[in-house]
Chains A and B, each alone.
Chain A
Amino acid sequence: MTRGPNAASHEQSELDGPRAVAPPASDSSSFERRITQECTKARVRQTLSAALSGAAFSALIATLFEAGSWLAAAASAPRALALALIALGSATSALVAWMRGPRLSEHLLKFDRRLGTLEVLSAAWEAPTESAFSGALRARALRLLDQAQAAHLPRVWRKRHWSIPLLVASAVTLALIPVASVPLPMPLAGAKTVRWQHLEDLAAPLGRINLASLGEPERQHLRDLVARITALQSELSLGLPEASLQSELNRLQDTLSAELKPFTDDAESLHAAVAALSYEPLTERAARALERGDLKAFDDEMRRLSSAEERSARAKARQVLSEAQAKARQSRAGSVSRILGEEETLFETRAQLAERIRELITQLGSEAAPPAPSAARPSEARPMSGSRNAEPANTVVDEDRRKLRGLAARLNRALLGDEQDYAPPSNAELEALSRTSSPEVSQELTQALQRYGEPSPSAERHQAMWDTSRAISRLQRALGGNSLPLRDADTSARTRSQPSPGPSSAAAPRSPGNNGSHAGSTPASEAKGLQALAQANLNAGIFRGSSGESFTESPLGTRPLPGRFSAAAAANEIQGVERPAIPREYQEQLSRYFAAE
């Protein structure tokens, strides 16, 4: 709004009114700057006010959401989202207020109204440049703005904003209070409802699988399986009708059974590979393991063959494996071919590792031999402090050597194939190894043993599937009314140390060494799923189904359950009777029957 020379004013007659004289450009720009400044100030205040109003509204929504999820005991509701909603509501309101805020002319109108200036500001802003009153109006407007106080600006804090602290506090409080457990619906008469809390991850064995060794479809399939098991476990911790649980467990078992039979769609390749392996007596056991789909046993057998002491035997086994892989690939480049390929790749590596381990064991045997009194190392022979400690020190060294000899013997047997299942050294053995041998040897042997013991990807996956299947089987048996098995630690350890699983593992030949004696057996391995299952804490009312009542716990700090929740019926109850529970043993029997056929 700049003013130019007002030529018309020079032509005004004597009767004309006031002449229009352009104010100095600096005055004009300062007026515009001042007006713009005031309006921006008002706009900012309005935006802040809108942000607070948005915060109040969104806090109300958040509080209602929190209260709703709390009352509905929706533990899975994203409760933190409600708090984020407050910030989002504020930001959105501020943005909308800023974008759609009143224009300058409307700001001026509001200023006029608040100041009671009878539209002086609007007139001063809109006065045409040729108007004689423009300068006077602007001067008057500036004076009014100077006299204006903060009270004339739009208010930032309004009455409704007082609700913000209360609502935010309510929302935060509700978010922090633990959600009450989902009330169980009233089960149908005679239906059982099961709640199983503090259950460790049933899918833990699947979590051990190295995903990098799998293709994307297999990875996704595995993720889906883990998600299903996790979801079931989550529902189980909240309470689930037994029929629904049984049904889902059966479905999971079906899936796992299908996973444990990897060659159902590759029978021709399997026959070709088994025929090739069976032709050579050296690989006959491996052929049987492959034929029954026991990838873990097959992998163990191939490990044993790769560590054969005689080079000719290793070469022969390697040749047969290659031929079997070639024949399988000729038939179909499917899973059989892939698994044999994995074993072929590992074969040479394992052979080299076995050679090196033998060398190290030989070295270890010489170190573990009982030393002559004069050959005792100074550090071992010298008493630690005085003559009274000499006897205990010698005892410790002897104990370490004894362990070391035992380890060497066990590893020798494992390399010779006398051990049914290769087991890595225990911690005690490793400590003894580190104490009695040089660090280089100790470290190299430890690493070599670790790499030697690594299963093939397929075997690892097979083992994980089997472990998961067993865990679910135990759960099914527990649901059948039996007391939880494996509660005894020895039983658990014994079960875990059993040879490779599989539907027909019972038919697998037992090794001579596995005669019931604990001598040389490996310590209990970590199997959190099974151990947790063994130690699972069943709710007292888990088998109250016959009376048709539901149960739940009411932890401290959660709301008491209103009675009306007990009247609801879950939809999946109807599905619960869709599939009756089938005993695991019967399933396995059927599987064997159809597999043989």
Chain B
Amino acid sequence: MGSSAVSDVEAGSDVEAALPQVTDEIERLRKALGLELLGQEAVVEQVIWALLAGGHALLEGAPGLGKTLLVQSLARLVGLDFSRIQFTPDLMPSDITGSEVLLLDDRGSSSGKFALHKGPIFAHVVLADEINRASPKTQSALLEVMQDAAVTIGGQRYPMPGPFIVLGTQNPIEMEGTYPLPEAQLDRFLLKILVMAPELEQFEAILMATSTLARPALEPLMDKQQLARLQAWCQQIVVPRAVVRYAALLCTATRPDSELATPSVKKHSRLGVSVRAGMAVISAAKARALAAGRLQAAFDDVRAVLPAALRHRLLVNFEGQALGVTPDLMLEELLDRVSPRLLESSFAERGR
């Protein structure tokens, strides 16, 4: 680990040579996470996308599927500080962000001075467990920190230590006593990752792995500087204009009044996704490209990240919910309808 490939890259001319080593770093991380969370390769992959893109992720799945384990393992593997916040209805915003406390002198009397008592949000990797159980007031406390990576306490603005990633979890089954996240809050998450129950073989492998041998403690694969450098690589990924246009086309096609909208979108979508959603698609596509060892994002990247990037931003109306229409279903139809080939002529027409 000491001879990290990424750290050796000092010049653009070495990019070609360093890229395999970068890819190898990511691959090792993917493999290590996969060993911790058996049978959830897709979840691991998407978490890595979020990590490389520097975005936050919302993990949705039934209890007991390893969401918390995944986040803990991730924090340990990348050598970052980790904090866990268990969201409950009585959780207050200051319980997350922290507060200023009055300092006492040696005699136990007030010194007249305040000191910042940092909340659990001050960490590199924050696990917001069962985030939908907190009240909207508390949930909104995360808005600023997720968007700007900074919190304001007592009128003082405190930046988060970088890298900073919030991984929220929520249970889609037990809705009683929960407060569904508002759209503005959901929009702050780069990806919404669905954690599905494992298949039989995977289930068996999990049971075998967790019950027979003692699992060794995880060793960090990189430090925060190296992670930051990976994220810098991710930002440098080149996105051709056609790919950007394709992402924009897909995002605008989620609007019910769009010409490219599918019948289900036209009928069941309440509103199209935001501009931030498009940015999220591009960021995630870049991360996927880098994870695949490429220096450029492609149409395939956009198509691959689209469901994770848009499923929590696409609002289904009441009729759609009643009929069991999900955002994933609508996005699947959208991807079938809007292909890159369709874009070729559109791109050529607009590009003149």
Contact = CB atoms under 8 A, between A and B. Distances in A.
Interface of A: 9, 14-21, 23, 102-103, 105-106, 109-110, 113, 118-120, 122-128, 131-137, 139-140
Contacts of B347: 105-106, 109
Contacts of A125: 240
Contact of B12 (A15, A110, A136): A136
Interface in B14-46: 14-16, 18-19
A118 B238 CA distance: 12
Q: Give the most central of A16, A131, A132: most B CB within 10 Å.
A: A132
10 residue pairs, one from A and one from B, having the closest CB atoms: A17-B232, A123-B296, A21-B12, A118-B298, A122-B240, A106-B348, A136-B15, A133-B295, A17-B233, A123-B238
Given A15-B228, A19-B11, A131 B238 contact: yes
A159 to B, nearest CB: 20
Contact of B300 (A118, A132, A134): A118
Contact of A103 (B10, B236, B351): B351
B344 interface: yes
A110 to B, nearest CB: 7
B352 interface: yes
Nearest to A101: B348
Nearest to A104: B351
Given A16-B229, A21-B11, A131 B236 contact: yes
Interface in B197-244: 225, 228-243
10 contacts: A18-B12, A18-B233, A23-B13, A105-B347, A113-B344, A118-B300, A122-B241, A127-B296, A137-B238, A140-B16
Contact of A119 (B13, B18, B299, B341): B299
Nearest to A121: B240
Contact of A109 (B9, B18, B344): B344
Contacts of A136: 12, 15-16, 19, 295
A206 B166 CA distance: 105
Contacts of B344: 106, 109-110, 113
Contact of A133 (B225, B228, B296): B296
Contacts of A139: 16
Instruction: Determine the main DSSP class of B at the interface with A.
Output: helix
A133 B240 contact: no
B225 A137 contact: no
Contacts of A127: 238, 296
B233 A126 contact: no
B294 interface: yes
A415 B236 CA distance: 113
A127 B240 CA distance: 7
B167 to A, nearest CB: 22
A123 B352 contact: no
A9 B6 CA distance: 16
B240 A18 contact: no
B15 A132 contact: yes
A113 to B, nearest CB: 8
B297 interface: yes
Given A103-B352, A105-B351, A109-B344, A123 B12 contact: no
A289 B348 CA distance: 84
A126 B11 contact: no
A18 B235 contact: no
Contacts of A110: 344
B348 A103 contact: yes
Nearest to A118: B298
A133 B300 contact: no
Interface residues of B, number: 42
Q: Give the most central of B14, B240, B241, B347: most A CB within 10 Å.
A: B240
Nearest to B12: A21
Given A9-B12, A18-B9, A126-B240, 14 more contacts: A15-B225, A18-B233, A19-B9, A102-B348, A105-B347, A106-B347, A113-B344, A118-B296, A123-B239, A124-B238, A127-B296, A131-B238, A136-B15, A137-B295
Contacts of A122: 240-243, 296
Nearest to B7: A14
B226 to A, nearest CB: 9
A15 B222 CA distance: 13
A226 B21 CA distance: 93
A4 to B, nearest CB: 14
A119 B243 contact: yes
Contact of A17 (B235, B243, B340, B341): B235
Contact of B240 (A102, A119, A132, A135): A119
A129 to B, nearest CB: 11
Given A133-B15, A133-B238, A140-B16, A119 B228 contact: no
B218 to A, nearest CB: 24
A123 B11 contact: no
B297 A133 contact: no
A17 B229 CA distance: 5
A128 to B, nearest CB: 8
A126 B243 CA distance: 11
Contacts of B13: 21, 23, 135
Given A19-B10, A126-B238, A137-B296, A14 B348 contact: no
Contacts of B16: 136, 139-140
A184 B266 CA distance: 64
B242 A135 contact: no
B265 to A, nearest CB: 26
B227 to A, nearest CB: 10
B305 to A, nearest CB: 14
A118 to B, nearest CB: 4
A132 B241 contact: no
A120 B10 CA distance: 23
A19 B12 contact: yes
Nearest to A139: B16
B326 to A, nearest CB: 29
B229 to A, nearest CB: 6
A137 B295 CA distance: 7
Q: Give the most central of A9, A16, A123: most B CB within 10 Å.
A: A123
A50 B212 CA distance: 69
Contacts of B9: 17-19
A105 B233 CA distance: 25
A23 B240 CA distance: 20
Nearest to B228: A15
A102 B228 CA distance: 41
B234 to A, nearest CB: 8
B197 to A, nearest CB: 33
Q: Give the most central of A18, A20, A131: most B CB within 10 Å.
A: A18
Contacts of A17: 6, 9, 229-236
Contacts of B18: 18
A20 B344 CA distance: 30
A133 B12 contact: yes
Interface in B246-283: none
Contacts of A126: 238, 240-241
Contacts of A134: 12, 238
B19 A119 contact: no
A103 to B, nearest CB: 6
A132 B229 CA distance: 13
A109 B242 CA distance: 8
